Structure 1
Amino acid sequence: MRKNGGAFAITIAAAMVLAFTSPAEARNSNPDEVTINVAGESLTMTADMASRVQDPVKFSQLTVEQLAAVGIHANMGHASVHGAFIPDSKSGGIQPNNASGCDWTNGGGSVCIYVFGSGLHVSEWDTSAKVGAYRCTYASYWINNGQWLITTGPELCGQNGTFWSYWKPNADYLANRSICNTWVGIAGKPCETITP
């Protein structure tokens, strides 16, 4: 009788442990999954997906749906990022004041960055992406040459025009730190370096 009673008690104890284990704890026990920080949130995903999410060029090749499946979405990190879509017929030649550039190597110049500020202070950091075919996308803001994704912009949809994302971080950055932008599903990663 004792053997059966002991086995029964162990079974109940094991069931209680499983019942009180959260889904996140259960996922973290999978050796093929890792937890990474994305725009201030801890997200669990496969190691392969984590390597794609942490590389700005590979990140820009993912779709909105693929990123949503691992918890990455528009408007992460900072609620103050705004966006707009301007059709080609309405574009008016916005000129940045301080630093700007487009990625002509990876994206054919379709993704650009615009940084406003003085010295190490960045008052505004904007980005644009030109598209032809209809798509939905959002901007991603990276620091340290794309090592850390710090925020994402709102989701925008359109065709034959330019997506814009505007952010006013109003923050100081370390000297010689590179800041970059990518757009989900659009090739290109332009960067600017913050210098005193």
Structure 2
Amino acid sequence: MKELDSSSWPIILMMSVMLGMVPVIPFALVSGILGIKYGVWGGSGMSVIASSLAAILTYWIFGKGGDGSRKRSSINRLNTWNDRIRNRAFLFVLIGRMLPFIPAAFINGYAGLFKIPFVPFLTATVIGKIPMMLVFAYVGVSTSSGSLYWVPVLLIYGGFLSGVYMLYTRLFPYAKPLESLEKRK
């Protein structure tokens, strides 16, 4: 991978964007490979650009599908959920981007279908992808060099995600776990 011609980056970027739009291959793997090819900074930078372009294209495709507000269910809870997300679009997308177990395609499609405002979506997408893409590129570089320096990075990232979640649940009471919401009834 390291010996391939570096001038082919536009083709690699296009392929990465296409892989980012299809949730079959985890983008963490793509980002790790880009880290191996271009190093931590170059690989993570290309990963952020490729995954952000994939998010924009997916947002646009789902946004062209119609008005999500007309497709809403008549169930009050779903309507309430959609309104909360729309009112806090930046925070919803940012936290979703920073949690590796939430598929990016879900966030992109949901945001496009339900007409989440584009500027908060794009801003949160880019900011939220930077830490994760740095970690994935670093893990790729570390595994190709045979080092185990990536273990502490993953632990720090996990701690960071836990801290973000705890802060968010304290600032926004409706984000408490389902148990506490059911007790209020």
User: TM-score scaled to structure 2, two decimals?
Assistant: 0.27
Q: Which structure has the larger Rg over C-alpha atoms?
A: 1
For normalisation by structure 1, the TM-score amounts to 0.26
Q: 1 or 2, which has the higher strand percentage?
A: 1
